[in-house]
Chain A
Amino acid sequence: MIVAEQKPLEEIRRMIVPYERVLIIGCGTCMTVCGTGGEREVSFLHNALRVAQAKSGNGTHTFSEYTLKRQCDPEFLDLLVDKVGDVDAILSLGCGIGVQAIAERLLDLSVLPGVNTSFMGMASEWGIWDERCAACGDCRLEETAGICPITRCTKGILNGPCAGTKNGKCEANKDMDCAWVLIYKRLERLEQLEKMRRYRPPRNFRTIPRPKRIMSRADIAVGGDNG
């Protein structure tokens, strides 16, 4: 899932200065799960902005709130059309995709990001999220026992470990496990250690152009099954 963290209140207050009526929009999927931009966080931010404005005594903003099931899907964005008639700007607590999706749907409104989209990851324990995927478009997890060296090795090296690993930890961060030691141990457990001996050539980033696009429409049209 996509993981983000909310921007500091001060930054959000600076962003909304030019706009009087601000609609705060949450997202019901990733941002809800990571506790950054779901219904509860929208309500909390709404209250915080109002208290901050009342304390400063110099704001004239009015706030409203709404949470979409997903900000990144056109069918849900259609629900916004009726709600933005009397707003000057939208403060999105969705990820960067959500902000852009709203901006593309509502051409005449300013859309402001309320969160910093950080990475794709998973919860290692409650409230702690770790990056797991860089969406590089060239997945090598089969070769590395399901552990991604691109994201979990600080150097992102494809033929590790480097000389900086010590006692299974990374030289850049002593609290962090060396990804390549993890890969070695897991390959050993799976009896696939021969994969450690393979040379992995450098990735050719020119073959991974951005922005990426995946088209599955043709498969759907002919009744194909993608999975």
Chain B
Amino acid sequence: MLRAYEMGAEGVFIAGCGEQCAREDTAFWVGQRVEKVRKTLVQIGLQSERLQAFLLGAPNEDPARELDRFAEEIGGLYLASVMVQEVKR
């Protein structure tokens, strides 16, 4: 997830299948990871709102609408000048 910010992304939206997922406890594990990255974003100086997860839970939920809302929300945040940096390993 952090790699996206390094490459210049203003936000990361994670879409998942939630309770309908064939794997167990998806929401819990996604939640754990998202929370960890959010805390790190704050330490880095980026707003935690720049990372959001949407796990489809009910048939009437619309991921596309959530994505639009997310894009609108992060568009209103101060755009941190995260520069693309050559990945050196």
Q: Say whether B46 contacts A47, CB under 8 Å.
A: no
User: Interface residues of B: mostly helix, strand, loop or mixed?
Assistant: loop
User: Interface residues of A: mostly helix, strand, loop or mixed?
Assistant: helix
- B2 interface residue (CB < 8 Å to A): yes
Nearest Cβ on chain A to B87's Cβ, whole angstroms = 8
Q: Say whether B43 contacts A55, CB under 8 Å.
A: no
- B22 interface residue (CB < 8 Å to A): no
Residues on the A chain within 8 Å of B40, using CB: 9, 44, 48
Residue in contact with A51 in the complex, picked from B5, B32, B88, B89, CB distance below 8 Å: B5
CA distance A44 to B39 in the complex (A): 12
Nearest Cβ on chain A to B84's Cβ, whole angstroms = 8
CA distance A56 to B43 in the complex (A): 12
The 6 A-B pairs with the shortest beta carbon distances in the complex, nearest first, are A47-B2, A9-B43, A52-B44, A51-B6, A54-B83, A62-B88
- B80 interface residue (CB < 8 Å to A): yes
Q: Say whether B82 contacts A54, CB under 8 Å.
A: yes
Q: Say whether B43 contacts A54, CB under 8 Å.
A: no
Residue in contact with B85 in the complex, picked from A9, A48, A50, A65, CB distance below 8 Å: A50
Q: Say whether A44 contacts B2, CB under 8 Å.
A: yes
Q: A54-B82, A55-B81, A64-B88 are in contact. Are A10 and B43 (CB under 8 A)?
A: yes
Q: A51-B5, A62-B88 are in contact. Are A57 and B44 (CB under 8 A)?
A: no
CA distance A51 to B45 in the complex (A): 10
Residue in contact with B83 in the complex, picked from A9, A10, A57, A64, CB distance below 8 Å: A57
Question: B39: nearest residue on chain A (CB-CB)?
Answer: A9
CA distance A8 to B81 in the complex (A): 22
Question: B45: nearest residue on chain A (CB-CB)?
Answer: A55
Q: Say whether B2 contacts A55, CB under 8 Å.
A: no
Within 8 A of B (CB), among A30-76: 44, 47-48, 50-57, 62-65
